[in-house]
Amino acid sequence: MFPLRRNRRLRTNEAIRSLVRETIISPNDFLVPLFVVEGKGIKDEIPSMPNYFRYSLDLLEGEVKELWKLGLKSVLLFVKVPDNLKDNKGAEALNPNGLMQRAIKTVKNACPDMLVMTDVALDPYSAYGHDGIVENGQINNDKTAGFLAEMSVSHAQAGADFVAPSDMMDGRILTIREALEDGGFINTGIMSYSAKYASAFYGPFRDALDSAPVDLVDIPKDKKTYQMDYGNRLEAIKETEMDIIEGADIVMVKPGLCYLDIVRDIKNEVDVPVAVYQVSGEYAMLKAAAEKGWLDHDAVMMEQVTAIKRAGADIIASYFAKDVVKLIS
Ligand SMILES: NCc1[nH]cc(CCC(=O)O)c1CC(=O)O
Ligand SMILES: [Mg+2]
In-domain check, residue 16: no
Catalogue the E-assigned strands of 200-287: 250-254, 274-278
CA 36 – CA 189 distance, rounded (Å): 22
In this structure, which residue's CA is closest to atom 10 in ligand 1? 202
18 within a domain of the structure (yes/no) = no
Q: Which atom of ligand 1 is nearest to the CA of 131?
A: 1
CA dihedral in degrees (92, 98, 99, 104; nearest 10)? 120
pTM of model > 0.90: yes
What letter does residue 66 receive in the DSSP assignment? H
Q: Where in the sequence is the domain holding 118, given as residue range(s)?
A: 24-328
Q: Where are the alpha helices (DSSP H) in 134-202?
A: 141-158, 172-182
Q: Which residues pair with 37 in a beta bridge?
A: 56
Q: Is 12 a member of any domain?
A: no
Cα(242) to ligand 2 centroid in Å equals 7
Cβ distance 109 to 61 under 8 Å? Answer: yes
- List the catalytic residues: 196, 254
Question: Domain with 201 in it: what CATH number?
Answer: 3.20.20.70
User: Which ligand ends up closest to the CA of 245?
Assistant: 2
239 is in an annotated binding site: yes
Letter for the amino acid at 287?
K
Mean pLDDT throughout 82-93? Answer: 96
Closest CA to 322 of 285, 283, 295, 296: 283
User: How many domains, the chain?
Assistant: 1
pLDDT in tens, 235-252: 999 999 999 999 999 999
- State percent of the chain over pLDDT 90: 98
Coil, helix or strand at residue 174: helix
Inside any domain, residue 189: yes
Distances (CA, A) of 176 to 185, 212, 324: 11, 25, 34
Burial class for 150, CB neighbours closer than 10 Å (0-12, 13-18, 19+): middle
Residue 14 in any domain: the answer is no
The 10s digit of each residue's pLDDT in 152-198 is 999 999 999 999 999 999 999 999 999 999 999 999 999 999 999 99
For ligand 1, what atom is nearest to the CA of residue 283?
A: 11
Judge whether residue 316 has pLDDT over 90: yes
